[in-house]
Amino acid sequence: MKGYNTFFYFQNAHDGVVAIIIKNSAKIDVERVTFPYTEENIEVIIVHTTIKILTFLLASVYICPNTTITSFLLNKLLYKVDDDLCIFCCVFNLHHLLWNPMLRSLGNDTENIVMEKITKCGFLLRNRIGCAPLPEELTTPSST
């Protein structure tokens, strides 16, 4: 795309794609691009970037539908971003049967594991299915 830096990873036709698209005006530290990190059906691209005066990591994460998510696996993902400020853009496949609350009686605890990790780390989770829409300040287009 003209005017943008694009980082993407396409594993195969049956799985998802992780991608990050950043305006050319943003500073990108190519030395710190993790491209890609694939671990047990989790695909991740992490880009170290600076926009105006804010330096942060931007991580695009895709978790395949049949992945068994454990706290150990989530800790390995968090280790990749160390203690840096990071924005995770994730697809957890919430539509998949493994995330269906009606099936928790079958012993699946995937959603609880992820939600517990999000809570313990003090992360802010936005745009969850069934939750309130994003605040206006996060959905209003900006010049950045």
Percent of the chain with pLDDT over 70: 55
pLDDT at 113: 74
- Say how many Å lie between the first and final Cα of the chain, rounded: 16
Tell me whether residue 22 is in a domain. Answer: yes
Contact 27, 50 (CB under 8 A): yes
Would the pTM of this model clear 0.85, i.e. be above it?
Answer: no
Tell me whether residue 141 is in a domain. Answer: no
Tell me whether residue 133 is in a domain. Answer: no
Tell me whether residue 95 is in a domain. Answer: yes
Range of the domain at 61: 4-127
- Count of domains observed in the chain: 1
Q: pLDDT-derived band of residue 108, with 50, 70 and 90 as boundaries?
A: low
Contact 61, 89 (CB under 8 A): yes
Tell me whether residue 135 is in a domain. Answer: no
